[in-house]
């Protein structure tokens, strides 16, 4: 195996990948680079058509976190519960909630997961997370010459305050113009869209009497997220009643269940 890191620094090296494939078909070649999504838009930078398979490395999902933590049996139980109509036993639901709280603390970055599995130290995990965020911030200088790094830095610093919220470009980051923020956030969005064909969506219906909002649309499936074990599903019912399908999903801390919506022709799980 031949591993080429920071390959975006050399368009010539990328062009040579074709000849490596033709002259040494037995050789597996991995080309990686943090700025690759930016360089791919340059005229002199393109991968050989039909010769490259794209792979993206993502943080651990919750189920992958369970595997890394040695809780493969719990993962299997959760997968069976998702596939079937029966509720989880109380003991298994309690274990799953405990692991989910740990996952929300640790996150899905491999180094943090490994440190947590080995040490169970929140202090060590938090330090790794701080180091990672600082490394991302320091990495912004690589965009110099491709993008103005100052708006990117301002967007990066302000993003935690807006995460999961609706916002406007104006006022997103102090002392930054809305046009700068639109370009900087657009850069981040395009980078994310290269990793998935389905960008995240949400749904809002505003009126003089009341507003309705669905947290996520996964394809055509509406998903509501509740912070506790209970909560009304008014927005979900409104969405479904307006022709948004026959099934909706509620994510909450209670046990899994399936029940009919207010209208007999709809069902909410």
**Average pLDDT over the chain, rounded to whole?**
79
Q: Is the pLDDT of residue 44 over 70?
A: no
User: Contact 216/190 with Cβ under 8 angstroms?
Assistant: no
What is the distance between the alpha carbons of residues 258 and 175, in angstroms, rounded to a whole number? 49
- Which residue range forms the structural domain that includes residue 73? 60-137
Q: In this structure, are 114 and 177 located in the same domain?
A: no
Beta-bridge mates of residue 203: 214
Q: What is the count of structural domains for the chain?
A: 4
Domain boundary among 55, 72, 101: 55
Q: In this structure, are 20 and 1 located in the same domain?
A: yes
Q: In this structure, are 36 and 9 located in the same domain?
A: yes
Domain boundary among 183, 199, 215: 199
Confidence at 22, pLDDT banded by 50, 70, 90: confident
What is the distance between the alpha carbons of residues 21 and 23, in angstroms, rounded to a whole number? 6
Strand 267-268, strand 259-260: pairing: antiparallel
Least confident of 40-44, 81-85, 96-100, 262-266: 262-266
Q: In this structure, are 73 and 124 located in the same domain?
A: yes
Of residues 235 and 75, more confidently modeled: 75
In the chain, the N- to C-terminal Cα span, in Å, equals 47
Q: In this structure, are 34 and 96 located in the same domain?
A: no
Q: In this structure, are 122 and 161 located in the same domain?
A: no
Instruction: Give the range with max mean pLDDT: 128-142, 173-187, 251-265.
Output: 128-142
How far is Cα of residue 98 from the mean position of the Cα atoms in its chain?
22
Mean pLDDT to the nearest integer, 207-228: 81
Q: In this structure, are 228 and 167 located in the same domain?
A: no
Q: What is the token pair recorded at 178?
A: 């809305």
User: Contact 95/47 with Cβ under 8 angstroms?
Assistant: no
Q: In this structure, are 165 and 209 located in the same domain?
A: no
Q: Is the pLDDT of residue 46 over 50?
A: yes
User: Contact 238/248 with Cβ under 8 angstroms?
Assistant: no
Q: What is the pLDDT of residue 194?
A: 41
């Amino acid at each position: 195996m031949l591993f080429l890191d920071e390959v975006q620094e050399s368009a010539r090296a990328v062009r040579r990948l074709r000849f490596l494939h033709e002259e040494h078909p037995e050789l597996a070649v991995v080309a990686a680079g943090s700025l690759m999504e930016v360089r791919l838009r340059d005229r002199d930078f393109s991968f050989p058509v039909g010769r490259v398979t794209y792979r993206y490395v993502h943080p651990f999902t919750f189920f992958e976190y369970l595997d890394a933590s040695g809780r493969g049996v719990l993962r299997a139980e959760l997968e069976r519960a998702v596939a079937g109509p029966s509720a989880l036993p109380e003991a298994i639901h309690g274990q799953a909630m405990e692991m989910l709280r740990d996952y929300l603390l640790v996150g899905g970055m491999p180094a943090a997961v490994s440190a947590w599995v080995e040490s169970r130290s929140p202090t060590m995990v938090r330090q790794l997370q701080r180091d990672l965020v600082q490394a991302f911030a320091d990495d912004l200088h690589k965009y110099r010459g491709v993008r103005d790094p100052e708006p990117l830095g301002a967007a990066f610093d302000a993003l935690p305050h807006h995460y999961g919220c609706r916002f406007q470009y104006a006022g997103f980051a102090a002392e930054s113009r809305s046009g700068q923020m639109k370009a900087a956030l657009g850069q981040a969005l395009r980078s994310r869209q290269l990793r998935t064909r389905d960008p995240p969506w949400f749904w809002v219906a505003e009126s003089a009497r009341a507003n309705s909002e669905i947290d996520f649309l996964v394809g055509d499936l509406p998903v509501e997220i509740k912070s506790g074990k209970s909560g009304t599903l008014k927005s979900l019912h409104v969405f479904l009643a307006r022709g948004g399908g026959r099934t909706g999903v509620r994510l909450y801390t209670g046990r899994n269940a399936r029940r009919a919506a207010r209208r007999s022709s709809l069902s909410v799980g």
